[in-house]
Amino acid sequence: MTEPGSCDNLLKAAFPVIVQGDAICGESSHFLVPKNLLPAITRYLHTQPSLRGRLTLIWTCDHRPVRDTYGLHYLFTLETSHHWVLLSSELAGNDRHFPSITPHVHAAKWYEREIRDMFGLIPEGHPDLRRLVRHEHWPKGTHPLRKDFPWNRVLGQQQGEYHFRRIEGEGVFEVPVGPIHAGIIESGHFRFSVAGEPIMQLELRHFWKHRGVEKLFEEQTLIGAVPLAERVSGDTTVGHSLAYCQAVETLLDLQVPRRARYLRALFLELERLYNHLGDIGAMCNDTAYALAHAHCGRMKERIMQLNDRLTGSRFLRNVIRVGGVTRNIENRQLTALVDELNRIQPDFSEVGAIIFANASLTDRLEATGVLDQQTAWDHAVMGVVGRASGIDCDLRRDRPFAAYDELPVNVALYRYGDVRARLRVRGDEIHESIRLIREIRAKIPDGPVANETSCSPKPGDWTLSAVEGWRGEILYMVMAGEDGRIHRCKVRDPSFVNWPAIQWAVPGNIIPDFPLINKSFNLSYAGNDL
Amino acid sequence: MFRIIKKSLKIGVVTGQYRGEEKPLLPVIPEAKEKATLFKRSLAIREVDTGSCNACEMEMNALLNPVYDVERFGIHIAASPRHADALVVTGPVTVNMERALKDVHKQTPDPKIVIALGDCAIDCGMFKGSYAVTGPVERHIPVDIRIPGCPPRPAEILNALSELRKPTV
Ligand code: SF4
């Protein structure tokens, strides 16, 4: 176990020029780093055996017009202590270049391409500088997150072509899929190179659904932006709104009442429940096992109707607010909820037994779409997908938020990294969520469910917040602007990190298995594209 | 095998176990109804996502679960726009999806019905004005009916669809 203190000392000993910065939140260290040292330090953090930092977030902030600089920030999570290490660097306003860390830290690849698109800063030494968010028809020089780019600008058009990585040779051909798919799913493009049946390579082309969410945040007030956070990814309404609200509460120095913290955990678990149930059903459906799909769909619907009865929204919209929750759930309702879940649990166990007793189904699941532990680690994969590949991380246990400091969570962990492992993680988490909700019912204290505040943060103050949503770690960086507005809000859905990893789980499998593998990851397109 | 039969017997029929709504929130215009007379018995729907948050899609998906079981009304989801009678469009139409939407509309054989599902599709919702959004849907393709909500409940979608296909008197 690395002690946080020792990690600071290690870093300072290895790189004497770095300066300790202000602490940003609990259990974290913050260093100010000259930009030319970034590759060396990140490499050290990432590879040093006693640290093993997992890249968690990279974000940039345009400080103009206040200061003529751009801020670059790199957040790492240490493997054993789950301590955060944040490296910050500044670029002068006329300096367009910063050194890329991708050659040493794979997981930085999309982040740096995103920064190039959104800010026009160039990661020098990056192996792949094609456009990511901005498709080819966006005119040159449009970098939406720069402060001189108006949020409602009408974009022009230009000609351009995206060059996919090509494999050439006898019998190799390409299969393009999307952006519009056959089922009712979101839009994204997949390009397969196949030789016969097996897939040799998959390349993703996403960001079709880019709606400009981060820029829209900058048009909102800190208190008023919760509905926007809820709509980043509709199936993770609670996860996103909770992560956002926590960040704002830190900025406002606002305490959330105990009861509200418990209710937040309750809503988060309900969200996990209905999504996991739906996913298990959809995975069975992709193996053509319609019976299990129907049963899971039925149970998912039950939970969503339950949500509707409890809160007036099937997706738990409008329940989390800055300072607490918008409505109290009476103890009587909680008891009824637990009773209902007590009936659903054996129901689910029976369906689970039917699923796993089906040999032809398990045959499809086993050894399909394997993401091995090393690859998962290299791409900083986390959440459900990570836990199925032996990456032991769960923020509910590692960096407790809401009421999880009083609700110990048993983390499901599997090693094989195949579709079956991802299904098993979800199955285990369903039981765990039901157990947690029972515990919430038993432990929830009485009291108010929201606090108010009238103070507003100093412009330029910023903070980070993290929530374990049902897909994985959701991160928000919120920086306050003038008059209680938002200067910058960085949103990171777990999908943004896990999407690139799917490219490594697919090769060697056949195309008909791809929908199944994709479902077993079940990543968000909306949360990724923002 | 016995386990499966036992389970099915124990659960019974769950179809229809939802709170129905009486009237669609927005009235269905007679022109749309007229167009829909052709599809009274069967309606093949193609869903197009032009930048939604995924909640609207999930509610469309929910229509297929045993509780709503939309197929009992002769409505099914087509895998290709060329097999579709109706397009259901969700999302505010992003800059990147605009072309795909127009393509899909062109590929769908006439006569066709276009349904804007959710507040985003109807007036861009929270994303109105953003540099990355060029919608709403009706700016790009003609829309026949609108189902408001963020997201509309499956019962509301079902309701609007059956209202659409009710004979005009
Ligand atoms: S209408 Fe609401 S639920 Fe539907 S896509 Fe838009 S934001 Fe999401």
Q: What is the CATH number of the domain that holds A404?
A: 1.10.645.10
What DSSP line would sit under A263-307, residue for residue?
A: HHHHHHHHHHHHHHHHHHHHHHHHTT-HHHHHHHHHHHHHHHHHH
In a domain, A150, yes or no: no
Ligand 1 pocket residue status of A209, Cβ below 6 Å: no
Taking CB atoms and an 8 Å limit, are A186 and B52 in contact across chains? yes
Taking CB atoms and an 8 Å limit, are B49 and A300 in contact across chains? no
Tens-digit pLDDT profile for residues B54-70: 899 999 988 888 888 88
> Nearest C-alpha of chain B: how many angstroms from A139?
12
Tell me which residues of chain A, numbers 354 to 393, contact chain B at a CB-CB cutoff of 8 Å. Answer: 354, 357
Is there a single domain that holds both residue A282 and residue A352?
A: yes
Pairing verdict, β A473-480 and A462-468: antiparallel
Q: Output phi, psi for A173, to 5 deg.
A: -140, 165
A88 close contact with B: CB closer than 8 A: no
Query: Would you state the pLDDT for residue A267?
Result: 92
Name chain A contacts of B104, Cβ cutoff 8 Å.
Answer: 180
Of B47, B48, B126, the CB nearest to A228: B126
**Beta carbons within 8 Å of A139's beta carbon, 6+ residues apart:** A155, A156, A157, A158
Q: By the 8 A CB rule, do A239 and A316 touch?
A: no
Which residue, of A93, A124, A155, is where some domain finishes? A124
Query: Would you state the pLDDT for residue A1?
Result: 44
Query: Would you state the pLDDT for residue B169?
Result: 56
Ligand 1 pocket residue status of B150, Cβ below 6 Å: yes
CATH number of the domain where residue A83 is located: 3.30.460.80
Query: Would you state the pLDDT for residue B22?
Result: 61
Q: From atom 5 of ligand 1, which residue's Cα is the shortest distance away?
A: B52
* Closest Cα in chain A to B124: A211
> Nearest C-alpha of chain A: how many angstroms from B75?
14
**Separation between Cα atoms, residue B54 and residue A232, nearest integer Å:** 9
pLDDT at residue B24 is higher than 80:
no
Is there a single domain that holds both residue A187 and residue A242?
A: no
Is there a single domain that holds both residue A180 and residue A69?
A: no
| Domain span holding position A28 | 4-124
In a domain, A142, yes or no: no
Residue type, A337: L
> Nearest C-alpha of chain B: how many angstroms from A187?
6
In a domain, A155, yes or no: no
C-alpha angle B28-A230-B128 in degrees, rounded to nearest 5: 55
Taking CB atoms and an 8 Å limit, are B80 and A182 in contact across chains? yes
A528 close contact with B: CB closer than 8 A: no
**Separation between Cα atoms, residue A52 and residue A50, nearest integer Å:** 6
Which residue, of A86, A107, A124, is where some domain finishes? A124
Of A144, A179, A212, the CB nearest to B100: A179
**Separation between Cα atoms, residue B132 and residue A157, nearest integer Å:** 12
Query: What are the CA-CA distances from residue B40 to residues B29, B33, B143 (Å)?
Result: 16, 10, 19
Tens-digit pLDDT profile for residues A436-487: 999 998 888 888 888 888 778 888 888 889 999 999 999 999 988 888 888 8
Domains of chain A: total: 3
> Nearest C-alpha of chain A: how many angstroms from B37?
25
Of A179, A212, A351, the CB nearest to B130: A212
Residue type, B4: I
Residue found by looking up tokens 């053509």 in the block = A288
Taking CB atoms and an 8 Å limit, are A301 and B67 in contact across chains? yes
Q: How confident is the model at residue B23 (pLDDT cuts 50, 70, 90)?
A: low
Q: Strand pairing partners for A37?
A: none
Query: Would you state the pLDDT for residue A240?
Result: 93
Is there a single domain that holds both residue A194 and residue A221?
A: no
In a domain, A143, yes or no: no
In a domain, A151, yes or no: no
CA A105 to ligand 1 centroid distance, Å? 36
Is there a single domain that holds both residue A332 and residue A263?
A: yes
Residue A8 in tokens: 């600071």
In a domain, A156, yes or no: no
Q: From atom 2 of ligand 1, which residue's Cα is the shortest distance away?
A: B150
Ligand 1 pocket residue status of B87, Cβ below 6 Å: no
Is there a single domain that holds both residue A419 and residue A283?
A: yes
CA A183 to chain centre: 24
> Nearest C-alpha of chain A: how many angstroms from B101?
9
In a domain, A71, yes or no: yes
pLDDT under 50: residue ranges of chain A: 1-2
Taking CB atoms and an 8 Å limit, are A235 and B54 in contact across chains? yes
Is there a single domain that holds both residue A378 and residue A447?
A: yes
Is there a single domain that holds both residue A274 and residue A295?
A: yes
Tell me which residues of chain A, numbers 280 to 319, contact chain B at a CB-CB cutoff of 8 Å. Answer: 291, 294-295, 297-298, 300-301, 304-305, 308, 314-315, 317
Taking CB atoms and an 8 Å limit, are B4 and A291 in contact across chains? yes
Residue type, A287: T
**Separation between Cα atoms, residue A4 and residue A26, nearest integer Å:** 11
Is there a single domain that holds both residue A104 and residue A39?
A: yes
Taking CB atoms and an 8 Å limit, are A211 and B94 in contact across chains? yes
Is there a single domain that holds both residue A298 and residue A328?
A: yes
**Separation between Cα atoms, residue A317 and residue A327, nearest integer Å:** 12
Best to test chain A binding among B8, B60, B65, B70 (most A CBs inside 10 Å)? B65
Residue B166 CB neighbours (<10 A): 13
In a domain, A133, yes or no: no
Which residue, of A124, A153, A186, is where some domain finishes? A124
Query: Would you state the pLDDT for residue A474?
Result: 93
Is there a single domain that holds both residue A272 and residue A353?
A: yes
B150 close contact with A: CB closer than 8 A: yes
In order of start, what are the domains of chain B with their CATH numbers?
Answer: 22-165 (3.40.50.12280)
Nearest CA-CA partner of B58 in A300, A493, A529, A395: A300
**Beta carbons within 8 Å of A391's beta carbon, 6+ residues apart:** A373, A376, A377, A381, A382
Is there a single domain that holds both residue A394 and residue A465?
A: yes
Taking CB atoms and an 8 Å limit, are A297 and B91 in contact across chains? no
